[in-house]
Structure 1
Amino acid sequence: MIVGHPLTSFSSFKSNVSRRTLATIMFLTAPFVLAQTGSQVRWKEILKQPDTWYASPDATRIADNVLVYQRESGGWPKNIDMAQPLDEKAKADLAQHQKDIDSTIDNGATYIQLSFLARTFTARKLERHREAFLKGFDYLLKAQYSNGGWPQFYPDLRGYYKHITYNDDAMIGVMTLLRDVAEKRSNFLFVDDERRHKASVAVQNGIECILKTQVVVGGKRTVWCAQHDEITLAPAKARTYELPSLSGGESVGIIRFLMSIEKPTPAVIDAIKSAVEWFQESQLTGIKWVATPDNSKLHGFDRIVIRDPSAGPLWARFYEIETNRPIFVGRDGVVKYNVAEIEDERRNGYSWYVDSAVSLLKDDYPKWLKKQQH
């Protein structure tokens, strides 16, 4: 256990400039979208509605919007609030972008659209929604690498877009959707048997990729990087401040997915136990990651680490692979071991500490262990 490290995790405070919130801000400024006038449902809440709502006129309107945004590849671009009303001019403008190659699984794109379309088709049986779902489903199958991983973007495979991407639960989101299809979950009963079988195979291949990409340090399995090289499977760099490292964030979602496997193999069980052991050993205690008002800073506040013996455990977003030390990187790409040493914009605009493993260690893992003993 790392005790009292001056760099630790993410407390209950969540900045309004986190990556997901930035995506929401982008929703509001996305091109072709009119000001919200009628819909009471926002895109970020699209999968949280009661079952009856998916048969409503508003749900149908939004589903038809989703079809307008779908690319010829079958996927969707990210960071767009597709619940916003569109007039005919906006739809015509969007039609000019159907050949764009910006389809992605980043920030929930594509698999959230598919989950939504499955619900609207189940509720109203409109054929156009089924056809769009199947086109998007086939896109996910086509985008998968032969080694079982998924790139962040497809067919645009430039730079880090081509890496196998666990970042922000991208690959886990895709695999969860495909498993729901394979297991005939209620909203996916309309999917044909051939596609259902392909979904099952894709999920199994994805699990094999997860096992192969678990980082081994000194002969011991640890956790995962946020992205891995699509050929060598080694931890890989994304943006300048996202270096090859051990992820204290994305690895939680991977473990939870593995724990949800009904009949895990010995290899899966070993991967889970090894990763949980890493989290237990790598937790940071005795500190809080807090925001203090500061109008001189870009975002109007400054995030600092304070000592607090009563604070719950935290984890750094990234750990150096060789040393297991928390690392922090600004836009210059230089590794720092103290978050205070990176520039204001990156320090206050990124989730350098996380606490998502707390419930994993306290609740989920003990329940899973107990289940394995029966």
Structure 2
Amino acid sequence: MMMINLREYVKIAISISFILIAMQPSIYAQNEQISWGRAQNQDNGWYALEEAQRIADNVLLYQHENGGWYKNIDMADELTSAEKEELRKQKFTKLGTTIDNGATHTQLRYLAKVYNATGEERYKKSFLKGLDYILEAQYANGGWPQFYPIKQGYYEHITYNDGAMIGVMDLLHNIAIAKPTYSFVDAQRQQKSKQAIDKGLEIILATQVKVNDKLTIWCAQHDKDDLSPAKARAYELPSLSGKESAGIVEYLLKLENPSGEVKQSIRSAVQWFQDHKVMGKKVVWIEDSTYTDNRDRIVVQDSDGGPLWGRFNDITTGKPIFVGRDGIIKQYLAEIEHERRVGYNYIDNYAEKLLKEDYPEWERKY
């Protein structure tokens, strides 16, 4: 038997105390109230905790009877009894359920994590209802509208804007390949998910814009009938979208055994990004007391700046365009109103990671 003296014992005791003290913040951090955004990115064990289930129960309350959710809601907020009762009354309101701004597919990802951690059937039931909603919302041609039931106007377009359709397809892809997080989904729904992403891929390939018979990238939204680039809000004109197209290509890179058509689509889009990157400039925030928020966003010359791409780009020339609420195309960010400059990201490094990391890795594989 090993013997230790009193001094060594004290040293060991102090060391253990320091370790326990150091551990305490992370233990408490796991149980603290957090935002809906932070709740999406926690360790697997966190989703079994009381706080994770409290948020999941909120998600169930916000879900409408048709299976979908509204957008722009922090589902981690503490709800009063009166608020919960009002949400129960609103469940049968269908108009407004959407895939815009991460709605519905984000809730489903969260519920899957909590179900896997807890085994609580109510989370599985809610997930499957939401999955059925997404599958039902798909157009026969493979696209998804922004709202379902259909909301008239630009909301009817096939919507890539803000990652709407790609967010849905990424979820369905993970279900179709039986990724462990979604292994609880039954075989019939897995098959429907596979069929949905196959149709979705068809419409992605069909909507890739051609200029002079050469494939380029995509618009943020396309007409549901003739598939042409389509206008949405006044400052969202038919154009080539840097942000949304980068997201589409990232999705295509994940596909196993890509067809020749998919490979051509990827390489054509990457070539467009290579040909139309803006170098020697960068976007910066500055203090400006002229405005109530005391700030402005500007583009400045910088020899080390770039690559940048426009959120909107002229279909013919591929050059970034800047459009305010008046719907008039400008050449420079400084020419549109302050409210839009600071409220919408018109130019950024949208495809930088795609070109530097993800696409080269894909090429080495294929």
Q: TM-score, normalised by structure 1?
A: 0.88
Out of 158, 165, 174, the residue aligned to residue 171 of structure 1 is 165
Deviation at 1:299, TM superposition (A): 3.0
Which residue of structure 1 aligns with residue 217 of structure 2? 223
* Contact persistence 2:308–2:349 (CA under 8 A): yes
Which residue of structure 2 aligns with residue 32 of structure 1? none
Which residue of structure 1 aligns with residue 4 of structure 2? none
Which residue of structure 2 aligns with residue 146 of structure 1? 140
Out of 120, 144, 160, the residue aligned to residue 114 of structure 2 is 120
Please show how residues 301-316 of structure 1 align to structure 2 within 5 Å. 301-316=295-310
Which residue of structure 2 aligns with residue 258 of structure 1? 252
* Contact persistence 1:166–1:250 (CA under 8 A): yes
Tell me the distance in 1 between the aligned counterparts of 2:337 and 2:208: 31
Deviation at 1:167, TM superposition (A): 0.9
Which residue of structure 1 aligns with residue 326 of structure 2? 332
Deviation at 1:298, TM superposition (A): 4.2
Please show how residues 272-311 of structure 1 align to structure 2 within 5 Å. 272-311=266-305
Q: TM-score, normalised by structure 2?
A: 0.89
Tell me the distance in 1 between the aligned counterparts of 2:292 and 2:205: 41
Deviation at 1:311, TM superposition (A): 1.3
Q: Per-residue displacement from partner, 1:232-268 (whole Å, max 9, x unpaired)?
A: 1111111110010001111111001101101100000
Please show how residues 1-374 of structure 1 align to structure 2 within 5 Å. 39-100=32-93, 101-372=95-366
Deviation at 1:156, TM superposition (A): 3.5
* Contact persistence 1:298–1:344 (CA under 8 A): no
Secondary structure at the counterpart of residue 292 of structure 1: strand
* Contact persistence 2:283–2:348 (CA under 8 A): no
* Contact persistence 1:298–1:345 (CA under 8 A): no
Which residue of structure 1 aligns with residue 6 of structure 2? none
Deviation at 1:87, TM superposition (A): 2.1
Deviation at 1:198, TM superposition (A): 0.2
Q: Per-residue displacement from partner, 1:8-65 (whole Å, max 9, x unpaired)?
A: xxxxxxxxxxxxxxxxxxxxxxxxxxxxxx8432101222111111111111111111
Q: Tell me which amino acid in the other structure corresponds to 1:94.
A: L
Q: Tell me which amino acid in the other structure corresponds to 2:261.
A: A
Secondary structure at the counterpart of residue 348 of structure 1: helix
Percent of matched pairs sharing the same residue: 52
Secondary structure at the counterpart of residue 61 of structure 1: helix
Q: Is 321-330 or 76-85 further displaced after alignment?
A: 321-330
Secondary structure at the counterpart of residue 151 of structure 1: coil
**Structure (1 or 2) with the greater helix fraction:** 2
Q: Is 263-272 or 182-191 further displaced after alignment?
A: 182-191
Tell me the distance in 1 between the aligned counterparts of 2:172 and 2:315: 31
Q: Is 41-50 or 242-251 further displaced after alignment?
A: 41-50
Deviation at 1:323, TM superposition (A): 2.3
Tell me the distance in 2 between the aligned counterparts of 1:185 and 1:41: 27
Question: What runs of 5+ residues in structure 2 fail to find an aligned partner?
Answer: 1-30
Secondary structure at the counterpart of residue 284 of structure 1: coil
Tell me the distance in 2 between the aligned counterparts of 1:254 and 1:114: 21
Tell me the distance in 1 between the aligned counterparts of 2:318 and 2:46: 48
Secondary structure at the counterpart of residue 299 of structure 2: strand
Tell me the distance in 1 between the aligned counterparts of 2:169 and 2:134: 10
RMSD: 1.1
Larger Rg: 1 or 2?
A: 2
Deviation at 1:95, TM superposition (A): 1.6
Tell me the distance in 2 between the aligned counterparts of 1:361 and 1:46: 30
Q: Tell me which amino acid in the other structure corresponds to 2:291.
A: K
Tell me the distance in 2 between the aligned counterparts of 1:76 and 1:298: 34
* Contact persistence 2:221–2:231 (CA under 8 A): yes
Secondary structure at the counterpart of residue 210 of structure 1: helix
Secondary structure at the counterpart of residue 54 of structure 2: helix
Q: Tell me which amino acid in the other structure corresponds to 1:121.
A: Y
Deviation at 1:359, TM superposition (A): 1.3
* Contact persistence 1:39–1:84 (CA under 8 A): no
Tell me the distance in 2 between the aligned counterparts of 1:112 and 1:229: 25
Deviation at 1:310, TM superposition (A): 1.5
Tell me the distance in 1 between the aligned counterparts of 2:98 and 2:240: 24
Tell me the distance in 1 between the aligned counterparts of 2:39 and 2:226: 37
Q: Per-residue displacement from partner, 1:280-339 (whole Å, max 9, x unpaired)?
A: 000001111211100212432122221111213111111111222211111011111122
Tell me the distance in 2 between the aligned counterparts of 1:131 and 1:288: 48
* Contact persistence 2:223–2:230 (CA under 8 A): yes
Secondary structure at the counterpart of residue 368 of structure 1: helix
Secondary structure at the counterpart of residue 67 of structure 1: helix
